[in-house]
Structure 1
Amino acid sequence: MIEGRILPWTEDLQDEGYPVWTDWEAGQRDVFFLDRDGVVDTTFNITPYDPGNPEDYTYIMNLILDLRNETWGQDTVTDIDGNVYETVQIGEQLWMKENLKVTHYNNGDEIPTGYSNSEWASLSTGAYTVYNDNEINADTYGYLYNWYAIDLETGVCPEGWHVPTDDEWTILSDYLGGSDIAGGKLKECTEGSCPESEYWNSPNMGATNESGFTGLPGGCRWASSGSYLYLGVVGFFWSSTEFSNDDAWYRILNCNYSGIGRTIDYKGYGSSVRCVKDEPEVGTILVPYSTG
């Protein structure tokens, strides 16, 4: 074991002279919260602590966030409209396990909607829609947003959450074994009867939903025509990462593919949105390990 190991989500500040205090009495591994100046604010003892254990990770994060009256491993999160979403921890990320269905930006402004096909195709500002203009679809699949809506600083995700970057999507798929197989682990299926699904068209290839992400095939609204396509077949999920003035990165889950696709397309597409929890801005946490 490495003495003075720093938790993986923090900046490495193990410079010479940095204050590290250790106490191996009773085999305890002492966790310290330090502010930006290296001053110890609070000391917690965890016995034992395993940084690779999601339960231990959640426990540590909650100890940290208690100092800010926040919660890391929360079971639900609520948007500005009052919609409540279940969450799931996958690796060191906390994700919504439902598609976003908010109708207001976080500053309270309404997100425009109600566009005809031709109007949608000509948009270069934020908007949302519901598949086939049928509000019943929003109950299951959430709304479809163009990229302009998720790019605004006002934000569409609940406070403390954000639309994942392209890199954050990659972290997710890498944790689940790589893009060739991660899709199946992310796709919804009927518990006990996978890959069967009430929502995905057959064959729902490779679907196990073992991650708990519960990815759904919400389809899309085409950028060039405003047409609705692929409900039950494909789930399109935006990233916040721009590729060019016209295009942005997103991810694709497909009933005929066990992987997760990564590609770019026009910002005018209407696609689903999943939110991921912000990493807290806290001081460094040092976890001393006994070397013997």
Structure 2
Amino acid sequence: MTIMKHLALLLLGFAVIGCNRGITPEAPAQNVSFTFTQTSSEGISGRSQELEEPAHVRLSLTTPEGDQVSHTLTVSTFSNGYVTSLLTLSIGDYQLNEFLVENADNQVIYAAPITGSDKANLVNQPLPLSFTVSEDGVEAVAVEVLAVGDATADAFGYAVFTFNVVHTFDFQVAVFIENQSTGLPELTASHLEIAAGGRTRVAINLDASTHLIEMTDSLPDYQVTISKGGYLPFEQTFTANELKAYAPGNGPLVVVLASDGMNGSWQPGDAWTDPRDGQTYGTVEYRGMVWMTENLNYGALVGIEDIDDKEGFDGIAEKLCWDADCIEGGYYTWYELMQTGDYQDSQEDSVGTRQGLCPPGWHIPTELEWRVITKGPIGAMGNIPNLIDINPNQPLGIEGGTNSSGLSLRLYGYFGITRDEPRRNYGDSGSIWTASFEKFSVFQEPVFHYMNIGGPNATLGFVGDVAALNCRCVKN
């Protein structure tokens, strides 16, 4: 008789972490453990069959973010069965893909069969299995394993009974700037990126605290970049051992950012200089938000055939312009503006904003932020004459404008990138992106929200991947 064990995922308590790891505010997490007990212990003779003593469990999971991760957990006796060491999982939906139980000699003695394998019909629920970790606890999930014996790995659906275990290490980082009033350093919010092994491993926003960063071990070097609007970026390459010197129990990596000399004493209403290319934008505070008074004009000027869409995203900041002077600012497809080839990957930062191509410390306004300044919680949005520029040398549209808000919106039309004549509606209307979108339209494609201005009211427009529009940035 095949020996079978059942494993259940149990909540053992809340994880408590002293400093922040990754994006803040820190996502809630639970400490969970796997337990398993023998449900059939009779051998062919009908007598009780002793089970080989397990020592480790190796498992692989798909995380809520879609990453594939592996864990090795130790096993201890518990009542009439066994329990693994604790595993901290953040809130979200998971998928258990592989589950192997090893003895003290690291030999696989039990395995959970995978759907489609020869052994899958011997259990009620072969892998993969889905489960949820929530703030209220952990959804119970039963995992069944079979004794391996002389069976081969492919009989269970595995290429080999092994894992490539990725080792990681933790280090701490704290970012400071000089307080303009006291002259003393103070913790500050910033943006951290770490590149290693040919790709970006970390790209997160840090709040004004000491952060605990988890990093893949044993890579040749780690390029650490810390940036903040108005300050020169910190850029330095470390070895793994150098970063490990800032492990918990030691002091953090302390980075003091120096003012870039452009925006160190900036206040709302002052001109703001983009440290990436030196372009200067006017600013105004209106209805509790600070807006740029000019359209974003960042990126390399390209032809309409080279602007990125979801099929041809190259990760390079690019723009269209009405002419070579670019006085109207850049025109961007939604994918280009968000700098992603996957609309679902336009990740929000810790304050719920999307930076896209806006400078550090600024973001692309959401539909709700536009509604704040247009006095329209639902439906048509008014107040537009107060937002439109009165400069007689700029197109105003049929209603003109008072620009009492100081936002200086202008009617620069848009590019219809699939049209024979792509330049459209200059002087009649203005089309400006929001960061908002709907996941699917009737054609099973995402549609992106934009503000259409030009009359006494603004309208909320919806468009697919077929237009290039202007963008206004808002201060975080």
**TM exceeding 0.5:** yes
Structure 1 partner of 2:289: 93
Q: Residue 181 of structure 1 aligns to a residue in which SS?
A: coil
Q: Aligned pair count?
A: 188
* 1:261 maps to 2:462: no
Q: Deviations over 1:66-101 (max 9, x none)?
A: xxx775525122221111000011010000000111
Distance (Å, rounded) in 2 between the aligned partners of 1:75 and 1:121:
33
Structure 1 partner of 2:334: 147
* Code of the aligned partner of 1:184: P
Show the 5 A alignment for 1:112-151.
Answer: 113-116=302-305, 124=311, 125=313, 127-131=318-322, 134-136=323-325, 138-139=326-327, 141-151=328-338
Q: Does 239-248 or 119-128 show the bigger shift? A: 119-128
Which has the larger Rg?
2
Structure 2 partner of 1:237: 432
* 1:121 and 1:223 in contact (8 A); partners too: no
Aligned CA-pair RMSD: 2.9
* 1:224 maps to 2:418: yes
Report the alpha carbon displacement of residue 223 of structure 1 after superposing the two structures with TM: 3.7
Q: Residue 281 of structure 2 aligns to a residue in which SS?
A: strand
Report the alpha carbon displacement of residue 121 of structure 1 after superposing the two structures with TM: 9.6
Report the alpha carbon displacement of residue 168 of structure 1 after superposing the two structures with TM: 1.1
* 1:220 and 1:229 in contact (8 A); partners too: yes
* 1:198 maps to 2:401: no
* 1:123 and 1:268 in contact (8 A); partners too: no
Report the alpha carbon displacement of residue 128 of structure 1 after superposing the two structures with TM: 1.9
* Code of the aligned partner of 2:460: R
Structure 2 partner of 1:165: 366
> CA distance change for structure 1 residues 202 and 170 in 2, over 3 Å: closer, same or farther?
closer
Distance (Å, rounded) in 2 between the aligned partners of 1:121 and 1:101:
16
Unaligned runs of 5+ in 2: 1-263, 340-345, 347-354, 440-444
Task: Identify the structure with bigger relative contact order (alpha carbons < 8 Å, sequence gap 6+).
Answer: 1
Distance (Å, rounded) in 2 between the aligned partners of 1:165 and 1:248:
11
Q: Does 92-101 or 162-171 show the bigger shift? A: 162-171
Q: Deviations over 1:32-62 (max 9, x none)?
A: xxxxxxxxxxxxxxxxxxxxxxxxxxxxxxx
Question: Which of 439, 446, 465 pairs up with 1:246?
Answer: 446
Distance (Å, rounded) in 1 between the aligned partners of 2:362 and 2:265:
12
Distance (Å, rounded) in 1 between the aligned partners of 2:396 and 2:474:
27
Unaligned runs of 5+ in 1: 1-68, 104-110, 191-196, 279-292
Distance (Å, rounded) in 1 between the aligned partners of 2:319 and 2:294:
17
Q: Residue 356 of structure 2 aligns to a residue in which SS?
A: coil
Report the alpha carbon displacement of residue 120 of structure 1 after superposing the two structures with TM: 5.6
Which of the two has greater helix per residue?
1
> CA distance change for structure 1 residues 179 and 70 in 2, over 3 Å: closer, same or farther?
farther
Structure 2 partner of 1:182: 383
What is the TM-score of this pair, normalised by structure 1? 0.57
